[in-house]
Structure 1
Amino acid sequence: MLPRLLRHLSLDLSPLRDSRDYRLLFGSGVITMFGTLISMVAVPYQMKELTGSYVAVGLVSLAEFVPMVVCGLWGGAIADALDRRKIIVLSELGLLVTSAALMINAMLPDPQIWVLYVMGAISTGIGSLQRPSLEAVIQQVVRHEQQSAAAVLSSLRWNFGAIVAPALGGLMLTAWGTASAYALDTLTFVLSLVLLWRVRSIPPAEDAAPASLKSLVEGVRYAIGRKDLMGTYLVDIAAMLFAMATALYPFLADELRAPEALGLFYSAAAVGALIASVTGRWTARVHRHGLGVIVAAVFWGVAVALTGLAPNVFLVFVCIALAGAADMISGIFRLTMWNQTIPPELRGRLAGIELLSYASGPMLGNTRASLMANFGGTRFSLSGGGVLCVAAVMALAALLPRFRQYDARTDEHALAEKARRQTEAEATA
C-alpha cells in the first residue's frame, strides 16, 4: 500500500528522458527564471526605496498591462504562422537588452523612476510575444500522454527558481544593491540563449494562416465557443484579480518589523508550489480538471485571506505557501486541459489568450491590492481580497456548468486530439 502511494506521489521524469528539445527548453527555463525572479523582487523594492508609495509600486504592474494584452495576442498569432524557435530566440535576446538597461539605470547616481516603468512595459511586451511560442512548442515536443507530467515539470522548474531566487535576491539587494540583481538577470539570459540555439527549428504547418487580425479573431472565436476553456480563463483571472497581492510584501515585511523577511515572502508561494509539484504525479489520475481548478482556486483565496490575519513572519510564510500550493495545482490542471484538447494549428493563438488570463490577473490584482491598501491598510487588502476571491470563484462555478463538469475521459475535444496524436505517431513510426 505504502509503495503504491509513494509511486503516485513521485515525480514523472519521462518528458525529460524522451525529448531532447524538451530538455533544452527545460534547462533554459530554469536558468532564465532564476534571474527573472530576482528582478521581480528588485523592481518593487527599488520603486519602494525611490518613492515610498503603495500606488507607485502598484502602477508598475499597471504599466505592464497594455503591452501584455497587445503582445500576448499578437504573439499567439505569430506562433502559429512563423518558426516558433526563431521567435523564442529573438525574444530572449530582447529580454537580455531590457535587463541590461535596468542594470545601467540602477548604477546611475540618481536612478530614474520612469526607466522602471518603461523597461517593465517593454520586457513584459517581449515576454508576452515569446510565451505563446514556448507553450505551443511544449505540445509539439512532448507526447500526448506525457502532457500532465510536462505540466508538473514546468511547474517544478518555475518553483525551484521561485524559492531560491527571491531569497537570494533579497540578500543581494540589501548587501550589494539593485544593480547586482539586474546584472545577474542579464547573465542568465546569455546562458539561456546558448541552450535555446540548440533547439531544432519548428516551422509552421504548410497551410498555416498568416499572422493577421483575421487569424486572431479565429482564435478568439474558438476560445469563446469552448465554455470549458473559458472557465479556465475566467476562474484564474478572478482568483488573481481579487487575491494576488505580492506588491504588498515590502510593506508587510516593514509592518512585521522584519525587512530581512522580504525575500522569504516572495519565496513562500514557491515553497508550497514546489511541494505540490514534486508530489504531483497523482494529478495524472485526475480527469475532472475543471472541478479541480475550482477547488484549488477556492483554497487559494482562503489562504490569502488567512495571510492578512497572520500575526508573525512564520504564519505569514505558511499561509503564502499554502496559497502557492493551491495555485500550482490549479495551473497543472489548466495546462493539461489546454495541451490535451486544443488543435496544434490553434495552439499558439490560444496560448496568447491563455497568457492574458494568467498574466492580466496578477497585474490587475497587484494594482487592486495597492489601492485597497491605500484605503484600508495592508492586512485589510489581503484578507478582503481573499474573501472576494472565494465569492467570485463560487459564482463562476455556478455559471459555468460545462467547465465544472469537464471530464477528459469523455470530452470530445480531448478524445479528438488524442486520436490525432496517435495517428501521427503511427505515421512516423
Structure 2
Amino acid sequence: MKLILDTRPLRSSAPFRRVLAGGVLSTVGGQLAVVAVLQQTWELTSSPVAVGAIGLAQAVPMVVFGMVGGVLADAVDRRRLVLGTTLGQMVVAGLLAAQAFAGLDSLAVLLGLVALQSACGAIGAPARRTFAARLLPADQVGAGLALFNLGFQASMLVGPAIAGLVAARWGVGSCYAVDTLTFIAALYGVVRLPALPPDGAGTRPGLAAVVAGWRFIAGRPVLAGAFLTDLIATVLAMPIALFPVVNSERFGGDPQTLGLFLSAIAVGGIVAGLGSGAVTRSGRLGLVMLAAAGLWGVALAGFGMAPNPWLALGCLAVAGAADTISVISRGALVQLVTPDAYRGRVTAVEDVVGMAGPYLGNFRAGLVAGATTAGVAAVTGGLMCVVGIAAVAAWTPALRRSGMSAKPLSGHQTS
C-alpha cells in the first residue's frame, strides 16, 4: 500500500484542498493557452525557430522577475502576493484572447503578451510554491507536492486534448478565453487562505537579500546539485518546441495530434503520480531524482528515433513518468532542507530553474531543429542530458545520499 498515492493532505487541510482544486482548474486553462500559443505562432510563421522563441519570451521574464518574487515572498504576506500576481495573469490572458479575436496576426504582440504573463507568474510563483510547507505537517509535505504534481499532470492530459478540439472548431482565441475564466478558480483557492507571512519576517527586499539566498544554496551541495540536475535535464532535452515540426512533417499539422503529444507526457505523469507513495516515503530522494532525470533523457532520445507515431507517444509517456518522479523527489528534498526564512528565495531559484530551464530548452531545440532536423535535436539533447546527469551523480555524493533524514519543517497552518 505504500506504493499508492498518499492522500492524507486532502483530509488534514481544507485550505490545501481549495488551493489544489483552484490550481488544477487554472492549469487546465493554462494548457489550452500553451497549445494556442504554439498553434498561433506556427500558423503565423511556419518556423521552428519562431516557435522556439516562445521559450525565450517566457524564460527571460522568469529569470529577471523570479528572484524578485523570491525576496518578496520572504518579506511580505505570501497570500496577498499570490492574489495580486494571479489577477495580473488573468488580465494578460484576456488580452491574449482579444488579440486573437481581433486578428492582429502580430508575432511581436503575441510574444510580448506571453512575456508579460510570464513576468506576473514569476513574481508570484515562489510564494505559491511555499503553500504546501505552510499548510501541511512536515511528514505530509512530500505527499502534498505529489498531489499538486498529479493535478498538473491530469491537467496536461485533459487540457491539450480539449485545446486541440477547441482550436480546430472555434480558433485559438477561444482557448485564450477559457484560460482567462479558469483564473477565477485559482483566485478563489487563494482568497480564503489565512494570512501567510514568512516565519521570522524581517527580510528587507534588495540585492543583499538575493545574495544571501544564493549563498545559502551555494553552501548546501544537496540544493546546488538538485537545481543543476533539473537545469541539465530541461535545457538539454526539452522537446515541446519540436512538437509542431514533428506534427507537420509526420501527421499533416492537425491541431488534435499536436494535443496528443502533450497528453502522452501527461499519461506517464499520471501513472507515476498514482504510484508516488514510494517516492514520497523514500529514504534516498536524491538518488531517485538522479535516476529519474537520466531516464527522462533516454526516453526523449527514443522519441527522436521512433519510427512510428505510437512508439513516439510511448516514449513521451515514459518521459512524463520520469519527469513526475524527478519533480516530486526534488521538490520534497528542497523543502526539507530549507528553513522558512529562506524558503521564498530558495523556492525562487527552484522556480527559475524549473520554469526558465524548459523555456531555454525549447529555444535550444528550435535552433537545432532549424539547423538540422527535429529528430536530431531530440536525440542529441536526450543523450547530452544522460551524460550531464551522470556527471552530477559522480561529483555530488551528498546528493546521492540525501533523503528523508533532512531537517524537518516548521510553521504549518491548517485553519
My pick for the range that moved more, 256-265 or 244-253, is 256-265
Q: Which of these residues, 391, 398, 402, is aligned with residue 402 of structure 1?
A: 398
Contact 2:266-2:320 at 8 Å conserved across structures: yes
Distance 2:33 2:46 in 1: 19
Q: Deviations over 1:34-63 (max 9, x none)?
A: 101110111011000001111111111112
In structure 1, distance between residues paired with 2:317 and 2:288: 19
Contact 2:149/2:273 (8 A) holds in 1: yes
Q: Where does residue 315 of structure 1 map in the other structure?
A: 311
The offset of 1:404, in angstroms, is 2.0
2:262 equivalent in structure 1: 266
What are the superposed Cα offsets for residues 169-228 of structure 1, whole Å, 9 maximum, x if unpaired? 011111110100000000001232233211112123454212211111111100011101
Q: For 1:228-280, what per-residue CA distance to the aligned partner results, in whole angstroms no more than 9, with x for missing partners?
A: 10111001100111110101101111222252311000111111010000111
Partner of 2:77: 83
Contact 1:231–1:290 (8 Å) recurs in 2: no
- Structure 2: runs of 5 or more not aligned: none
Output the CA distance in 2 between the equivalents of 1:48 and 1:320. Answer: 21
Specify which of 323, 330, 341 is matched with residue 337 of structure 2: 341
Contact preservation (8 Å) 1:245, 1:369: yes
Contact kept, 8 Å, 1:269 with 1:322, in 2: the verdict is yes
2:287 paired with 1:285: no
**In the TM superposition, what whole-angstrom CA distance separates every residue of 1:62-95 from its partner, at most 9, and x where no partner exists?**
1222210121101010001001000111111000
The aligned residue for residue 235 of structure 2 is 241
Partner of 1:4: none
Q: Are the structure 2 counterparts of residues 168 and 340 from structure 1 closer, same or farther at C-alpha, using a change threshold of 3 Å?
A: same
Return the alpha-carbon distance in structure 2 between the equivalents of residues 306 and 218 of structure 1: 41
Between the aligned partners of 1:400 and 1:322, the Cα distance in structure 2 is 26
Per the alignment, residue 302 of structure 1 pairs with 298
Q: Which residue does 1:23 correspond to in 2?
A: 17
Structure 2 CA distance for aligned equivalents of residues 109 and 16 of structure 1: 44
Corresponding position of 2:127 = 133
Q: Give 1:121's match in structure 2, choosing from 115, 127, 133.
A: 115
Give the SS at the match of 1:8.
coil
State whether residues 296 and 329 of structure 1, in contact with CA within 8 Å, keep that contact through their aligned partners in structure 2: yes
1:8–1:282 Cα contact (<8 Å) kept: yes
Moved over 4 A (4+): none
Alignment partner of 2:244 out of 246, 250, 257: 250
Residues 1:60 and 2:54 are matched in the alignment: yes
User: Does the Cα contact within 8 Å between 1:249 and 1:265 map onto a contact in 2?
Assistant: yes
- The one-letter code matched in structure 2 to 1:327 is D
Are the equivalent residues in 1 in contact too, given 2:146–2:280 (CA < 8 A)? no
Q: Which residue is 2:180 aligned to?
A: 186
In 1, the alpha carbon distance for the partners of 2:188 and 2:273 equals 27
Match status 1:378 vs 2:374: yes
Code of the aligned partner of 2:315:
C
Task: Write the deviation string for residues 81-118 of structure 1: whole angstroms up to 9, x where unpaired.
Answer: 00100011111100001100100000113322111111
Match of 2:33 among 36, 39, 63: 39
Moved more, 240-249 or 395-404: 395-404
What do residues 129-150 of structure 1 show as CA deviations (whole Å, max 9, x unaligned)? Answer: 1110011122111110001111
Partners in 2 of 1:166 and 1:177 — Cα distance? 14
CA gap 1:207/1:194 in 2 versus in 1, 3 angstroms: closer
Give the whole-Å Cα distance in 2 for the aligned partners of 1:351 and 1:104: 33
- Is 2:209 the partner of 1:210? no
Contact 1:60 / 1:116 at 8 angstroms: preserved in 2? Answer: no
- 1:80-119 paired onto structure 2 within 5 Å: 80-119=74-113
> How far 1:287 sits from its partner (Å)?
1.2
Tell me how far 1:347 sits from its aligned partner: 0.5
Structure 1 pair 360/195, CA: closer, same or farther in 2 (3 Å)?
closer
TM-score with structure 2 setting the length: 0.96
Tell me, in whole angstroms, the C-alpha distance in 2 between the residues paired with 1:269 and 1:190.
Answer: 27
State which of 321, 324, 346 in structure 2 corresponds to 1:325.
321
* In 2, Cα distance between equivalents of 1:296 and 1:385: 16
**Which residue of the other structure, out of 135, 150, 153, is the alignment partner of 1:156?**
150
> Aligned partners of 1:378, 1:204: CA distance in 2, in Å?
45
Q: Assess if the C-alpha contact under 8 Å between 1:261 and 1:313 holds in 2.
A: no
SS at match of 1:10: coil
Taking structure 1 as the reference length, the TM-score comes to: 0.93
Partner of 2:389: 393
**Identity between Structure 1 and Structure 2 (%):** 37
